[in-house]
Amino acid sequence: MMVAIGSDHGGVNIREEIKKLMDEMGIEYKDFGCECGTSVDYPDYALPVAEKVASGEFDKGILICGTGIGMSIAANKVNGIRCALVHDVFSAKATREHNDSNILAMGERVIGPGLAREIAKVWLTTDYEGGRHERRVGKISEYESKR
Ligand code: RB5
């Protein structure tokens, strides 16, 4: 599995924590920034990561900003992206099983690094269930294909 990870200035600490986690788990990743000591704009990181996942170059993406909201809004503009904004472990599992989410967004001003690690660990290791969920996810893809 190859993961694209990025954050704005509001998500640097959790980004570093999740990189450590992926090192421990033996998961390959590429860090898309930011290289920031100053304020940057979250779409500049969300959109490149989302494009890389949508193109298939990366299997999954992880995006962190202050709330996770800006990252998730921007990433979900890219066709083929199902970005889930998650701040609890239950939803991390459910969104992989039910939505086949391909990007995880989190907010560093909302949760701490310990919970972010647990969320990412579950999200990275949970498989999509398919079955009845195929029809639902398929309806989203079908809508996107007509735009
Ligand atoms: C940056 O101040 C902040 O707006 C950003 O990190 C994020 O929370 C946006 O949704």
Q: Residue 43: which domain range?
A: 2-145
CATH number, residue 93: 3.40.1400.10
Domain count, the chain: 1
CA distance 46 to 16: 17
Would you say the pTM of this structure is higher than 0.95?
yes
Angle at 60 between CA 127 and CA 46, to 5 degrees: 140
Predicted pLDDT at 23: 98
Q: What is the DSSP letter of 16?
A: H
Predicted pLDDT at 36: 83
Name which residue sits closest to atom 3 of ligand 1, judged by CA. 66
Q: Please work out whether the CB of residue 68 comes within 6 Å of at least one atom of ligand 1.
A: no
pLDDT tens, residue order, the chain (147 aa): 999 999 999 999 999 999 999 999 999 999 999 998 899 999 999 999 999 999 999 999 999 999 999 999 999 999 999 999 999 999 999 999 999 999 999 999 999 999 999 999 999 999 999 999 999 999 999 999 997
Q: Please work out whether the CB of residue 42 comes within 6 Å of at least one atom of ligand 1.
A: yes
66 is in an annotated binding site: yes
Its sign, for the CA torsion 69, 122, 35, 51, is negative
The residue to which tokens 């690690």 are assigned:
117
